């Protein structure tokens, strides 16, 4: 029983972390209609910035959790204004190619700045212990990730459903020309949404830093996981991202414990099964070619 409890909690913290990252991908897709291949690279950048702020500049973890994502969001504004603005009116293939190029540039820059070795970020003292829960010992940091994940989930839901900013974002996602006709500055919305997506990726990166070792391949792993999440849940769907993230979290939580030898393959098998029966994802709508 305690094994199952621990696996469940483990699934939940992986799942909520994946949700934070995948929902950023989803929001950007919803409004800009592009899939940001560099999303994982921005996540990695968040983690590495946190490493520098904590281990080199000596800041507390909380400060890094606030500052690193802001730094990444500023970079995202620059990327949007300098590079992406050229391709918004073009074919979707061009946006895929350009964000892929940005991914290569960020990946290699991280390798040049921080080296290809592994870096470790310690969780803050307050969160580094473990507590007894459901009859098993659980790392306090896992609970912290779960709490922050749930807070962000609630915050995002509130933002999209109850605030003016959220309504503007949804309007821009539904029909950009119509939104423009209603005196909404869609150019600013586009830049803002791209920066917000990058901010979410970086928050995920800072949160993940104390759980995983930092290496230049960490962004590649997470972008594939995020793709699997949005394919399972349905591209562009907010509840879909949550459902996909929880399913993938469960696959990791239980797969890692009970089927370690095929653990790497299970997410792909899950994705293939969903594609066979629900090609648009569990919550997705028409994406047929």
Partner 1 sequence: MKTKVLMAILAVVIAGLIAVPWIASYFYVFIFTEILILGLFAASFNLIFGYTGMLSFGHAAFFGIGAYATALVLIHLEWPFLACLLVSMGASALLALMIGFLSVRLNEVYFAMLTLAFGMMVFAIAYQWRSVTNGSDGLAGFTLGSFGLGLDLTLANPSVYYHVVLGIVAIAAIVLYVICRSSFGMILKAIRQNPERVSFAGLNVRTYRLVAFVIAGIFAGLAGGLIAPFLRVASPELLHWSMSAEPILMAILGGTGFFLGPFIGSAAFVLLETWITTYTESWMLVLGIILALMVIFFRKGLLGTAIDWWMEVKK
Count Cβ atoms below 10 Å from residue 239 Cβ, excluding itself: 12
| Residues 222-261 within binding reach of partner 1 (CB under 8 A) | 224, 227-228, 230-231, 235
Q: Residue from 4, 75, 87, 159 that binds partner 1 (CB under 8 A)?
A: 87
CB of 152 to partner 1, least distance (A): 23
Segment interacting with partner 1 (CB under 8 A) among 5-13, 91-99, 197-205, 248-256: 91-99
For 166, counting Cβ atoms within 10 Å of its Cβ (0-12 exposed, 13-18 middle, 19+ buried), the class is middle
Cα Rg of the chain, angstroms: 19
Question: Which stretches within 124-185 are classed as H helix?
Answer: 140-162, 164-174, 176-181
H or E stretch including 18? helix 2-32
| CB contact at 8 A, 168 and 179 | yes
| CB contact at 8 A, 251 and 270 | yes
Nearest to partner 1 of 183, 276 (CB atom)? 276
Under rule CB under 8 A, residue 75 binds partner 1: no
What is residue 289's three-state secondary structure?
coil
Report the alpha-carbon distance of residue 42 to residue 37 in Å, rounded. 10
Report the alpha-carbon distance of residue 155 to residue 173 in Å, rounded. 19
Under rule CB under 8 A, residue 118 binds partner 1: no
| Residues 205-224 within binding reach of partner 1 (CB under 8 A) | 220, 224
Nearest to partner 1 of 227, 254 (CB atom)? 227
Q: Residue from 10, 11, 26, 107 that binds partner 1 (CB under 8 A)?
A: 107
| Residues 144-163 within binding reach of partner 1 (CB under 8 A) | none
Residues 6+ apart with CB under 8 A from 222: 21, 40, 43, 44, 204, 208
CB of 40 to partner 1, least distance (A): 11
Binding mask 14-53 for partner 1 (x = CB under 8 A): ---------------x-----x-x----------------
Beta bridge partners of 130: 139
Q: Residue from 70, 78, 86, 182 that binds partner 1 (CB under 8 A)?
A: 86
- The size of the interface with partner 1 (CB under 8 A), counted in residues, is 42
Under rule CB under 8 A, residue 108 binds partner 1: yes
Report the alpha-carbon distance of residue 160 to residue 147 in Å, rounded. 20
Q: Residue from 57, 66, 188, 264 that binds partner 1 (CB under 8 A)?
A: 264
Report the alpha-carbon distance of residue 49 to residue 72 in Å, rounded. 9
Per CB under 8 A, residues contacting partner 1 are: 29, 35, 37, 83, 86-87, 92-94, 96-98, 100-105, 107-109, 111-112, 220, 224, 227-228, 230-231, 235, 264-265, 268, 271-272, 275-276, 279-280, 287-289
């Amino acid at each position: 029983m305690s094994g199952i409890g621990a696996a469940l909690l483990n699934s939940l913290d992986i799942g909520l972390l994946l949700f934070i990252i995948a929902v950023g991908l989803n929001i950007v897709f919803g409004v800009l209609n592009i899939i940001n291949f560099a999303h994982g690279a921005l996540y990695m950048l968040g983690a590495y910035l946190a490493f520098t702020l904590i281990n080199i500049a000596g800041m507390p973890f909380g400060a890094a959790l606030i500052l690193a994502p802001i730094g990444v969001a500023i970079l995202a504004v620059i990327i949007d204004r300098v590079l992406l603005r050229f391709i918004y009116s073009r074919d979707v293939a061009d946006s895929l190619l350009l964000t892929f190029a940005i991914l290569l540039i960020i990946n290699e820059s991280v390798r040049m700045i921080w080296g290809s070795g592994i870096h470790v970020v310690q969780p803050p003292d307050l969160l580094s212990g473990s507590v007894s829960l459901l009859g098993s010992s659980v790392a306090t940091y896992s609970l912290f990730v779960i709490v922050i994940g749930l807070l962000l989930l609630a915050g995002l839901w509130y933002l999209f459903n109850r605030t003016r900013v959220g309504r503007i974002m949804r309007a821009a996602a539904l029909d950009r020309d119509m939104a423009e006709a209603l005196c909404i500055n869609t150019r600013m919305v586009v830049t803002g949404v791209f920066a917000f997506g990058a901010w979410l990726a970086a928050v995920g990166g800072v949160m993940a830093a104390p759980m995983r070792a930092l290496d230049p391949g960490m962004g590649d792993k997470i972008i594939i996981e995020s793709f699997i999440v949005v394919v399972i849940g349905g591209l562009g769907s907010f509840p879909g991202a949550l459902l996909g993230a929880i399913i993938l979290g469960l696959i990791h939580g239980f797969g890692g414990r009970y089927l370690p030898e095929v653990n790497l393959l299970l997410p792909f098998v899950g994705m293939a099964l969903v594609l066979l029966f629900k090609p648009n994802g569990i919550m997705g709508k028409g994406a047929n070619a």
